[in-house]
A and B are shown apart, each in its own frame.
Chain A
Amino acid sequence: GAVVSQHPSWVICKSGTSVKIECRSLDFQATTMFWYRQFPKQSLMLMATSNEGSKATYEQGVEKDKFLINHASLTLSTLTVTSAHPEDSSFYICSTQRWGNTEAFFGQGTRLTVV
């Protein structure tokens, strides 16, 4: 069964609104989770590292005020796309691992369409 559950699978929102995506670790406590974005026909791009109980670490070029990450518990990280614009339309994917250098588990992804 799934180790990481991501919700929703898809969402359509209007420009200017905010959208929250949830990522749950079902099998183990995850102190660290990762958020990726993938545009059509492109590879995954790491956006940020979500750390339980502390601030997220963002990759260069990713606006932290636009992509709000909250990791309030050991099993849940959320990504909120604030003031969404059509260019934010993408496939967002989360992942986690039990510890480094082992198998990573990915959510099923969230297809965001901003109209």
Chain B
Amino acid sequence: DAKTTQPNSMESNEEEPVHLPCNHSTISGTDYIHWYRQLPSQGPEYVIHGLTSNVNNRMASLAIAEDRKSSTLILHRATLRDAAVYYCILTSGNTGKLIFGQGTTLQVKP
């Protein structure tokens, strides 16, 4: 499975945008880029995923570099409820397996 690299932690102020980076230099052509987040003592929650084009949904936006070797999860206005560990994961094929890295712990300051 291709590996991803994320910063261990990031801080943001409430109501400001947050850009969470992810490097995946060994990504293959069929790998999808998924983002999940996990609040304390809960199971992970899907945020967004994409293959090549940028994606938007009600939770966030996903910006994918043209060479696909990196991507950025964008939270447009951080709230205190967005404080969580964010995981960037590559998936390929139809196995459904998700291999989690260490993720980025996002702190949101009021």
Which residue numbers of A lie inside 8 Å of B, CB to CB?
4, 6, 32, 34, 36, 43-46, 49, 91, 93, 95-97, 99-109, 111
Contacts and interface: CB of A to CB of B under 8 A. Distances in A.
Interface stretch (B21-29, B65-73, B74-82, B98-106): B98-106
Contacts of B91: 100-101
Contacts of A49: 95-97
Given A43-B103, A109-B42, A104 B98 contact: yes
B42 A108 contact: yes
Contacts, number: 65
A95 B93 contact: no
A107 B43 CA distance: 6
A106 B87 CA distance: 14
B94 A111 contact: no
A99 to B, nearest CB: 6
Given A43-B87, A100-B91, 5 more contacts: A43-B101, A44-B98, A101-B93, A103-B46, A104-B34
Interface of B: 32, 34, 36, 38, 41-46, 49, 87, 91-103
Nearest to A6: B43
Nearest to A49: B97
Nearest to B89: A104
A108 B87 contact: no
Nearest to B49: A103
A109 B39 CA distance: 12
A-B residue pairs, 7 tightest by C-beta: A100-B94, A106-B43, A44-B100, A103-B46, A43-B100, A97-B96, A109-B43
Most chain A C-beta atoms within 10 Å of own C-beta, residue among B36, B43, B46, B102: B43
B58 to A, nearest CB: 13
Contact of A100 (B43, B96, B101, B103): B96
A97 B102 CA distance: 22
Given A34-B96, A100-B91, A93 B43 contact: yes
A58 to B, nearest CB: 13
